[in-house]
A = this chain, B = another copy of it.
Amino acid sequence: MTQRVRVQSFGVSRDGIGAGQEQTRQRPFGHVDPGELMAWAFETAHFPGRTAPGGSRGVEDRLTRDFAQGIGAEIMGRHKFGPQRGPWPDDGWTGWWGEEPPFHTPVFVLTHHPRPPLTVGETTFHFVDAALAEALALAKAAADGKDVRIGGGVTTLREFLEADLIDEMHVAIAPLEYGTGLRLWERPEELEDRFHLERITAPSGVEHCFFWRR
């Protein structure tokens, strides 16, 4: 099986916004409330961060269930890992996810400021100052034959799309508008020249867009 490069359950608003610019330790998505933008995922039984019992087991659960399936590594932008800018301060930051991040694979964090790898629970973060294709080669080698997830944020995902390095992508459009923030696209149809696009609206009101290479 060929290794594929996948985007899973990436959330944006109707106006294409996936996060605010004014990120802080308290607000990883700035003025965007991830509990609102990703409400559909939090409700499902298989949401990776879920600790409460119960949860829905409908179509959206099939999407969260798929998060780790066949994935051997993730690539993320530096701002998905933390709010710091410039050289890494000695602040003991280990990511937003507590003692057991939901990745359980090698994660490659794109940064202009390399630092030694950091292991948190079952996840090891590697900090690489590398071009996208180079980082992808590292991630594929680390993925042990499995697929690579591009985890975001918005800027990183845009860069991978512009470099045409994505094979398939699931984006969840929440029935919200933010007006300002980091924008993935004007409209999903922009990508139809390169991707098949299938759209389906769940009972939650969220429109799920599936893209795969033509």
Contacts and interface: CB of A to CB of B under 8 A. Distances in A.
B59 A210 contact: yes
A196 B210 CA distance: 26
A140 interface: no
Interface in A38-64: 45, 56-59, 61-63
A198 B62 contact: no
Contacts of A61: 210
Given A200-B200, A200-B202, A202-B200, A62 B57 contact: no
B59 A198 contact: yes
A196 B61 CA distance: 13
A200 B198 contact: no
A62 B58 CA distance: 12
A208 B59 contact: yes
A56 B200 contact: no
Residue in A57, A168, A208, A210 whose Cβ sees the most chain B Cβ within 10 Å = A57
A45 B6 CA distance: 14
